[in-house]
């Protein structure tokens, strides 16, 4: 069975683009559906040997219909094929966004969750080992980790600080940390940095913690008297945690 494309063309000669536009979008869609149904239904009874030729003919017919329907409707913004193209574009966009969202939930979602008990225990053991290596009190590292990330190695701040001790990417790089989300690397880098600050400020814990939270430059230029409220609250929290750790 073959498809006579001349019959399809003849069926539309009595419908000028202007007339179709005047009859409205519903009429256009109805006519399109009728012709499309008449084209597709015969395909169902074709044997496989004729299927490819029939698909080529159908593709050609659809191009013909696109030209008939889009003559005036594109100007009016009601073109059926234009809507189809917009839908395809929307579907691609949704697919891309879905891929991004999937990536977000795979990579970032753990930062919204608390670590499991086994992971927390491993982190606590790492802290004790790191404390010995950098010559810091483990209670201090524990307090900073608790305040900074609540022991979450995947934590990310709104400012971009990463990991257990919330290292900024630039600081992590200077400290030789290649992966801030690696618990051991982050603890080593953060503890080393904290030790450097304590040495710089000659053991003054307030200055060292303020510099860790607010930045060395701010502490050096403005002093502790001009600390922002956020940094004051940070110092208070660390000291409270230290008391709990020491109790």
C-beta separation of 200 from 185 below 8 A: no
Q: What residue spans of 135-224 are helical by DSSP H?
A: 138-149, 169-174, 183-200, 205-214, 216-222
Q: Read off φ and ψ for residue 203, nearest 5 degrees.
A: 80, 0
Q: CA–CA separation, 150 vs 75, rounded Å?
A: 59
Q: Is 124 designated active site? A: no
Rounded Cα–Cα distance for residues 155 and 150 (Å): 9
By three-state DSSP, how is residue 162 classified?
Answer: strand
Query: DSSP character for 182?
Result: S
Q: Which of 124, 148, 174, 202 is catalytic?
A: 148
218-to-183, 211, 231, 245 alpha-carbon distances in Å: 28, 7, 11, 29
Q: End-to-end CA distance of the chain, in Å?
A: 91
Q: Which residue has the tokens 């929307």?
A: 90
Which residue in 196, 193, 183, 223 sits closest to 207, CA to CA? Answer: 223
Contacts of 205 (CB under 8 A, 6+ apart): 198
* Active site (catalytic) residues: 148
């Amino acid at each position: 069975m073959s498809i006579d494309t001349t019959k399809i063309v003849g069926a539309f000669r009595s419908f000028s683009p202007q007339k179709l536009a005047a009859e409205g979008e519903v009429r256009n869609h109805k006519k399109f559906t009728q012709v499309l149904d008449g084209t597709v239904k015969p395909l169902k009874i074709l044997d496989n040997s004729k299927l490819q030729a029939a698909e080529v003919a159908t593709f050609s017919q659809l191009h013909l219909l696109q030209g008939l329907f889009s003559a005036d409707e594109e100007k009016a913004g009601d073109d059926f094929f234009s809507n189809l193209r917009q839908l395809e574009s929307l579907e691609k966009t949704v697919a891309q966004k879905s891929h991004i969202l999937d990536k977000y939930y795979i990579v970032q979602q753990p930062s919204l969750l608390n670590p499991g008990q086994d992971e927390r225990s491993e982190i606590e053991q790492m802290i004790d080992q790191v404390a010995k290596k950098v010559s810091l009190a483990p209670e201090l590292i524990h307090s900073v980790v608790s305040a900074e990330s609540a022991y979450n190695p995947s934590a990310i701040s709104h400012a971009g600080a990463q990991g257990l001790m919330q290292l900024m990417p630039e600081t992590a790089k200077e400290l030789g940390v290649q992966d801030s989300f690696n618990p051991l690397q982050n603890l080593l880098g953060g503890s080393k940095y904290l030790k450097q600050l304590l040495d710089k400020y000659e053991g003054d814990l307030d200055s060292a913690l303020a510099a860790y939270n607010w930045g060395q430059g701010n502490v050096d230029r403005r002093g502790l008297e001009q600390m922002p409220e956020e940094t004051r609250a940070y110092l208070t929290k660390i000291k409270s945690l230290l008391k709990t750790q020491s109790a």
